[in-house]
């Protein structure tokens, strides 16, 4: 990367950092290019040069946050020794990410009703693919072996991620009575029960260490 390209990449990251901070502080109402330009110290002209539009910047920030989430979810699968351990680790890692990076998680969930995701769907999908593929690659052998239900991957994703994503949405919205620590303790095994093939309880000797996931 040339010095000019390096400076451009640093400017783009500074804009994304500022955009996330602006959204966390003021929500969607304060999420404007003027506020982001002021917070970052980067001119509006440079902002438009790097992202094309306000929607382009928002889509880029969404992609960055989503990739970080997916990478956090995939990370514990490297050491998951069983299908059960892996499914539980995915669910716990999602909720742990929410606890540890609430600003990124809040932006992800706030973006669900936005127009920029549809307008930049192809770009977002391209950014997400390398991050989500390791999760599917981990699951496929377990599906073929009959340990996890054989469903289209999009539906399997909904069964595993859907419950924790909705939990995260409500937690971030401040719904009373929702304890994230309790969700991390309780939901992963319930989600495993929804995707395992056998209705019988697993043998007591099945190696399945508790996911080493926590948050401050």
CA-to-CA dists, residue 133 to 12, 105, 128, 154, 168, angstroms: 26, 20, 8, 12, 22
Domain contains 159: yes
- 21: tokens are 């901070």
- What is the model's pLDDT at position 205? 44
Same structural domain, 172 and 109: yes
Same structural domain, 158 and 104: yes
Domain contains 31: yes
- 107-113-119 Cα angle (round to 5): 95
- What is the model's pLDDT at position 23? 96
Question: Domain boundary at 10, 33, 52, which?
Answer: 52
- 78-125-157 Cα angle (round to 5): 50
Instruction: Report the CATH number at residue 92.
Output: 1.10.357.10
Q: What is the pTM of this model?
A: 0.87
Mean pLDDT along residues 78-106: 97
Domain contains 139: yes
Same structural domain, 139 and 188: yes
- What is the model's pLDDT at position 114? 83
Choose the most confident range, by mean pLDDT, from 69-83, 101-115, 116-130.
69-83
Host domain of residue 101: 55-195
Q: How far apart are CA 120 and CA 22, in angstroms?
A: 21
Same structural domain, 120 and 188: yes
Same structural domain, 27 and 108: no
Mean pLDDT along residues 94-106: 97
| Residue 187 pLDDT class (50, 70, 90 cuts) | very high
Same structural domain, 150 and 163: yes
Count up the domains in the chain and report the number.
Answer: 2
Q: If you ran DSSP here, which 8-state letter would residue 204 be given?
A: T
| Residue 70 pLDDT class (50, 70, 90 cuts) | very high
Same structural domain, 38 and 79: no
The more confident residue out of 69 and 28 is: 69
| Residue 81 pLDDT class (50, 70, 90 cuts) | very high
Same structural domain, 78 and 180: yes
Q: How far apart are CA 83 and CA 192, in angstroms?
A: 9
Domain contains 102: yes
- What is the model's pLDDT at position 113? 76
Same structural domain, 133 and 175: yes
Q: For 7-20, write each residue's pLDDT tens digit.
A: 889 999 999 999 99
- Tell me which long-range contacts 43-46 makes (C-beta under 8 A, separation of at least 24): 46/11, 46/15
Percent of the chain with pLDDT over 70: 92
Q: How far apart are CA 76 and CA 164, in angstroms?
A: 16
Instruction: Report the CATH number at residue 48.
Output: 1.10.10
- What is the model's pLDDT at position 204? 44
The more confident residue out of 114 and 188 is: 188
Domain contains 200: no
Same structural domain, 92 and 133: yes
Same structural domain, 159 and 129: yes
Domain contains 215: no
Is residue 38 over pLDDT 80? yes
Q: How far apart are CA 136 and CA 45, in angstroms?
A: 40
Is residue 203 over pLDDT 90? no
Q: How far apart are CA 187 and CA 92, in angstroms?
A: 8
Q: For 122-160, write each residue's pLDDT tens digit.
A: 999 999 999 999 999 999 999 999 999 999 999 999 999
């Amino acid at each position: 990367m040339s010095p000019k390209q390096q400076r451009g990449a640093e400017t783009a990251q500074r804009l994304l950092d500022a955009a996330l901070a602006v959204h966390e502080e003021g929500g969607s109402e304060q999420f404007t290019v003027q506020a982001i330009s002021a917070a970052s110290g980067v001119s509006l002209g440079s902002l438009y040069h790097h992202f094309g539009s306000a929607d382009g910047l928002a889509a880029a920030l969404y992609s960055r946050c989503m990739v970080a989430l997916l990478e956090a979810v995939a990370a514990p699968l490297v050491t998951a020794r069983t299908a059960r351990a892996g499914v539980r680790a995915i669910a716990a890692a999602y909720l742990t990410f929410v606890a540890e990076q609430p600003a990124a998680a809040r932006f992800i969930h706030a973006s669900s009703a936005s127009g920029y995701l549809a307008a930049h769907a192809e770009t977002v999908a391209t950014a997400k693919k390398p991050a989500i593929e390791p999760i599917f690659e981990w699951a496929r052998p377990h599906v073929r072996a009959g340990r996890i239900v054989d469903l289209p991957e999009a539906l399997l994703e909904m069964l595993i991620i859907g419950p924790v994503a909705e939990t995260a949405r409500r937690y971030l919205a401040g719904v009373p009575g929702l304890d994230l620590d309790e969700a991390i303790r309780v939901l992963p095994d319930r989600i495993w029960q929804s995707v395992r093939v056998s209705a019988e309880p697993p043998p007591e000797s099945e190696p399945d260490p508790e996911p080493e996931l926590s948050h401050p």
